[in-house]
Structure 1
Amino acid sequence: MSFLNDLFTAQPLLALFITIALGYLIGKIRIGSFVLGGIAGTLLIGVVIGQIGVTIDPGIKTIFFALFIYAVGFQGGPQFFHALNRRSLNQLVSAFVMTFVGLITVLLGAWAFGLDRGMAAGLASGGLTQSAILGTAGDAIANLGLSDAVTKTMQTNVAVGYAVTYIFGSLGPIILVTWFLPAIKRWDVRAEAVKLAATMSGGNAELDPGQFNAVRPVVTRFFVMDTARGSNGMSVLKLDGALSDAAVEAVVRAGKSLSFSGDTTLRSEDVIAVSGTPEAIVAGATLLGTEVPAPAGFRLVEESREIILTNKALTSRPLSEIHEHVSVDTRHGVYLTNAKRMGIDLPLLGDLTFNRGDELHFVGRPTDLDRVQSKIGYKIGAAAVADFVFFGIGLTIGLLIGLISFRLWGVPISLGSGVGALISGLLFGWLRSVHPRYAALPLGASNFLRDFGLAVFVGVVGLTAGPQALVAIQQNGITLFLLGVGVTLIPPILTFFFSYYVLRIRNPIEALATVAGGRSSNPAFAALLEKAGNSTPVVSFTITYAVANVFLTLWGPVIVGLVTTNATA
């Protein structure tokens, strides 16, 4: 033990990276559908290794938490501001009510059982599974002007509260959305998901002529034009219109590839390459000739391209309506194969509406994709390099915002660097979605900042908590655990019935997804997706998740301000 103490004293960062590695290792342990997760695992391992006595510069914790929370805000900015509209007002209200009831539940528990500010914030962080509260509450405690000993004790108690309540905080919402709430309402989640998918696609489980569902694979087949078929003598553009979700991609005449346009007339014995959904090609088989293998040595180059949606005109209409009104010559050879929001796949159904900042995946020839790209947004590949000018400006503004302090109903509130970085991240993420030339921060880079920033922050928190953490757990463990159960279960149950009867969120899938999103619970959402068997819960989850992430993070300094009990050193 003395060897490790000497080693970690000489190089404290060794303890930090060992903590992260072991934390994520045990975080992979799966019990049924429950996974502890790397963050909770890192905190627990940090507390264990911290018993040796490890001193790490607190500035490291501050820097990496700012990076984490800025990335969270940047990724959620477009969805958060999109949620502030009349169409999603009921889900916006539901998410806020969920977070507010969670805040009240934490405060009542803290006041009733005499918890100090740190323990109350930890209860909120673990019971509501919002790791960001660890940082925003810790900042607020540091700004109270208390003695170093009291400040350190309460910051340790934040980690203790989180560690004791987090496991059930993750498990509780899974139970609620996959069993308890559906059982009360007698809902069959899978059947309701199938029903909602049919509703979103116009009530048709299968594709009708002219309707498209681009989530299906795009294939290419070759046909020899036949005088007996209706397409002989047609122009390429006219045939594209008749095929709907398929298009002529190449014309081989007399053994040579022909340079063609929409006005090119197809002749008997021409070999044409047709790309599109298998359904569209089969449906148009009466217009095409005999299917043949590809000509020897023939190559047809296509590209898979990811485009971020920025065109406001495409965010106000259902997907089916956009497809119907876009001309054949515009959508020729371009196929939407997938769409993501906040990294989560969206259901490509007719009733789906897109938001600015959604990631759309297309397949087609490069020339066809170039034609439509400017009408949609910007190519992700074009933003492969982070814009460090705006990144630096964003964090500077965030840290300046964090210096703001004020009194709310007589209670002193200090925003701190965490809240400031969150607000700045939201603004710059929104700026990027509407002005794609500025503030580039590729998804891979922002994911790394978010995940690694939080891992380092939580690792430092666990290591510095040290022996104090075990003492606090021994003194308050059972009480904290039971309070955590209440904080985990009471807000979603109350908000579910409020949303159902008052806000009239009656569709079972939307109601359950709103619970998972309002609780900022990724494990519950993953379990609901598995139960549903399709991606219909995604839209409601992303709206409420973005809103909940913001408000739950803001509750850190609010709890520290409203709970007036300080720990004893």
Structure 2
Amino acid sequence: MFTGVDFVSFIRSNPTLAVFFTVAVGFLIGKLRWRSFTLGTVTSVLLVGVAVGQFRIEVPEPAKTLFFLMFLFAVGYAVGPQFFRGLKKDGLPQVGFAVVVCLLCLGSAWMFSKLMHYTLPQAAGLLAGSQTMSAVLGVATDTIRQLPEGADMDLSAMPVCYAVTYIFGTAGSAWILGTLGPRLLGGVDKVKAAAREMESKLGQDMSNSPGFDPAAREIVFRAFRVDNPWFDRRRTVREFEQRMQREGKRIFVERICRGGRLIDEVTPRMAIRSGDGIVLSGRRQYVIEEEEWIGQEIVDDRLTDFSIMTLPVVVNRKGAKGCSVGSVLAQPYMHGVGIRSVTRAGAAMPVYGNSLLDAGDRILLVGLPQDVRRAAAEIGFADPPMTPSGAPLIGLGIFLGGLIFGWILVAKIGAIPLSLTVSGGVLIAGLVSGWLRSRRPTLGGIPEPTVWFMNNIGLNTFIAIVGITTGPTFVQGFREVGWSLFLVGAGATSVPLILGIFIGKFLFRFNDALNLGCIAGSRTTTAALGAVEDTISSNVPSLGYTITYAIGNTLLIIWGVVLVLLLS
């Protein structure tokens, strides 16, 4: 008969099972929500790990490092194109602003740590939690271990400080930017007016145009019998499509059936005659509107028996990168092709007629296979979901990044080694790899599901191991830091955000709505971006999110190294 002692002994001898259990339960708890409050996945995994750690389970150190390096490389790979894109002239203002906000985050954590006389682990935990950058725990640990006598330093207070300050770091950031921020900028109505002003400058919202195809309103292919007298004068396909475009409707003729003969390859000069069966493609509402004008909709299985393609394409051609969405849609190679979505640095982008496409943007094209392939070749390179995994890219990237920045490029100030550490080197390697991939498709890409796995499972497995290994001393550490840490963390969170609002408005002179999005990106807080967009009922703030997010995601992680060196 099994006993509790047997179970504990079994788990201790198989610590990997405890890690998987912690990740699973942490993800489940992280999904729970009470009104607008949620712990989030990372904090939930940490707390579950602390509970599991009460069984005093020892997890081998290499396992934690392995998953953490996977996470760092995936972070860099995802934001690499936007990180280097921001270094160009038109992106420099947002880059400069992100650097300023990140410096405020570092300065705030340093200042409060000095005032409260925190130890290195406590200061690192404060930075990680108050700025919601979990990866700081890993890079700070690496840096502390390289210090003289750092190998013997007790790091149990680090996850404690992180857990206590992370709650306000997340919820407080959303409240400051979503509720307090608009008031500091003159009121919600003023920020809404600023958003409308920017929308008008950007032109028509392409999410409501025939060239853009969001999931809620799909492009459709429907068959009609031509019987309008307008076609009696041997109208060509080009004449018909041009008439539709003059009315603001992007509709294309995809197939014609005449006298029982099916014509697959439709050319612009081909005539459309009364009695022909034709297949039209376009946005649903526009195609339906043409039923009374063209003729009755028909059911013809042979005429509509064809497949359409949805193909992800990475933008990297000169004719598309740096061009507006409207100008790309107007190109001849986009005939018959719609855009379903645009993703930048992993975030869905609002798309306006004058919004610019960046190198590395991932757009989803939809249309007939030959049309989609033609458009993809002009825009960039196809990046279908089932591409082979770039295992050599991952392995060599992590190895070379850690080798160069963790061993080769190391300086010393006295007895203190000065370097980005292996962790920082892997992050830089991910940035470079992501940027190179956006320019050289032959380099070998990493499928999106793999990036998600490396990012989410990598980070949360690392956090689970941190929680399990520090679990026995977590309660004692909480008593040592006290409840005052929550207030200190709230201050460390609030100062950079509030100062950033005024710096963006008066120094950088950003549009008020864009300003709030830039701050959310610099602090890499997606929850705050959502709160801002809900408050002002506009997606303009997300236009300032991607470049600043790429910079913030890089610098805030590196600050884990810098803070330790400053305080040491």
TM-score (norm 1): 0.91
Alignment of 1:52 with 2:55, yes or no, is yes
* Distance in 2 (alpha carbons) for counterparts of 1:205 and 1:360: 14
| 1:32 Cα deviation from its structure 2 partner | 2.0
Question: What residue is the counterpart of 1:567 in the other structure?
Answer: none
Question: What residue is the counterpart of 1:460 in the other structure?
Answer: 465
Question: What residue is the counterpart of 1:290 in the other structure?
Answer: 295
| SS of aligned partner of 1:437 | helix
Is residue 212–residue 338 contact of structure 2 (8 Å, CA) maintained in 1?
no
Is residue 222–residue 271 contact of structure 1 (8 Å, CA) maintained in 2?
yes
Alignment of 1:495 with 2:496, yes or no, is no
Residue 276 of structure 1, aligned match among 282, 287, 292: 282
List per-residue Cα deviations over 1:176-221 (Å, max 9, x = no partner): 121111123212389448625741552689979xx84444431233
Alignment of 1:300 with 2:306, yes or no, is yes
* Distance in 2 (alpha carbons) for counterparts of 1:349 and 1:186: 26
Structure 2, unpaired ranges of 5+: none
Residue 513 of structure 1, aligned match among 496, 514, 517: 517
Question: What residue is the counterpart of 1:217 in the other structure?
Answer: 218
Alignment of 1:160-179 (within 5 A): 160-179=160-179
Question: What residue is the counterpart of 1:369 in the other structure?
Answer: 372
List per-residue Cα deviations over 1:82-128 (Å, max 9, x = no partner): 11122122221111111100101111111111111111011000000
CA change 1:257–1:474 in 2 (3 A) is same
Question: What residue is the counterpart of 1:75 in the other structure?
Answer: 78
Identical residues among aligned pairs (%): 29
Alignment of 1:108 with 2:116, yes or no, is no
Is residue 99–residue 551 contact of structure 1 (8 Å, CA) maintained in 2?
yes
Question: What residue is the counterpart of 1:389 in the other structure?
Answer: 392
List per-residue Cα deviations over 1:370-393 (Å, max 9, x = no partner): 111111122222762112222221
Question: What residue is the counterpart of 2:240 in the other structure?
Answer: 239
Structure 1, unpaired ranges of 5+: 565-569
Alignment of 1:16 with 2:54, yes or no, is no
| 1:536 Cα deviation from its structure 2 partner | 2.7
Question: What residue is the counterpart of 1:84 in the other structure?
Answer: 87
**Matched residue pairs, number?**
554
| SS of aligned partner of 1:539 | helix
Structure 1 stretch displaced more, 54-63 or 32-41: 32-41
Letter in 2 for 1:510: L
Is residue 339–residue 345 contact of structure 1 (8 Å, CA) maintained in 2?
yes
Letter in 2 for 1:497: F
CA change 1:381–1:231 in 2 (3 A) is farther
| SS of aligned partner of 1:291 | coil
Residue 530 of structure 1, aligned match among 528, 531, 534: 534
| SS of aligned partner of 1:440 | coil
Is residue 70–residue 422 contact of structure 1 (8 Å, CA) maintained in 2?
yes
CA change 1:183–1:431 in 2 (3 A) is same
CA change 1:382–1:446 in 2 (3 A) is closer
Letter in 2 for 1:13: T
| SS of aligned partner of 2:235 | coil
* Distance in 1 (alpha carbons) for counterparts of 2:237 and 2:99: 53
Question: What residue is the counterpart of 1:550 in the other structure?
Answer: 554
Structure 1 stretch displaced more, 259-268 or 462-471: 259-268
Question: What residue is the counterpart of 1:25 in the other structure?
Answer: 28
Letter in 2 for 1:560: V
* Distance in 2 (alpha carbons) for counterparts of 1:532 and 1:29: 26
Residue 486 of structure 2, aligned match among 468, 481, 501: 481
CA RMSD for the aligned pairs? 2.5
Is residue 235–residue 263 contact of structure 1 (8 Å, CA) maintained in 2?
yes
* Distance in 1 (alpha carbons) for counterparts of 2:174 and 2:190: 13
Is residue 71–residue 459 contact of structure 2 (8 Å, CA) maintained in 1?
yes
Question: What residue is the counterpart of 2:203 in the other structure?
Answer: 202
Question: What residue is the counterpart of 1:188 in the other structure?
Answer: 189
Residue 65 of structure 1, aligned match among 57, 65, 68: 68
Letter in 2 for 1:176: I
| 1:539 Cα deviation from its structure 2 partner | 2.1
CA change 1:9–1:83 in 2 (3 A) is same
CA change 1:429–1:258 in 2 (3 A) is same
Structure 1 stretch displaced more, 404-413 or 447-456: 404-413
Is residue 312–residue 383 contact of structure 2 (8 Å, CA) maintained in 1?
yes
| SS of aligned partner of 1:378 | strand
Alignment of 1:262 with 2:265, yes or no, is no
| SS of aligned partner of 1:313 | coil
Residue 98 of structure 1, aligned match among 96, 101, 106: 101
List per-residue Cα deviations over 1:138-197 (Å, max 9, x = no partner): 1101111316432xx1x3222121111011110111101211111232123894486257
CA change 1:354–1:486 in 2 (3 A) is same
| 1:296 Cα deviation from its structure 2 partner | 4.6
* Distance in 1 (alpha carbons) for counterparts of 2:377 and 2:25: 46
Alignment of 1:156 with 2:156, yes or no, is yes
* Distance in 2 (alpha carbons) for counterparts of 1:147 and 1:130: 22
Residue 252 of structure 1, aligned match among 254, 257, 272: 257
| SS of aligned partner of 2:483 | helix
TM-score (norm 2): 0.91
Alignment of 1:386-465 (within 5 A): 386-400=389-403, 401-403=405-407, 404-407=409-412, 412-465=417-470
* Distance in 1 (alpha carbons) for counterparts of 2:68 and 2:96: 28
CA change 1:559–1:381 in 2 (3 A) is same
Question: What residue is the counterpart of 2:381 in the other structure?
Answer: 378
Is residue 74–residue 425 contact of structure 1 (8 Å, CA) maintained in 2?
yes
Structure 1 stretch displaced more, 493-502 or 216-225: 216-225
| 1:514 Cα deviation from its structure 2 partner | 1.1
Structure 1 stretch displaced more, 403-412 or 18-27: 403-412
Alignment of 1:308-319 (within 5 A): 308-319=314-325
| 1:29 Cα deviation from its structure 2 partner | 1.9
CA change 1:350–1:255 in 2 (3 A) is same
| 1:424 Cα deviation from its structure 2 partner | 0.3
Residue 562 of structure 1, aligned match among 551, 554, 566: 566
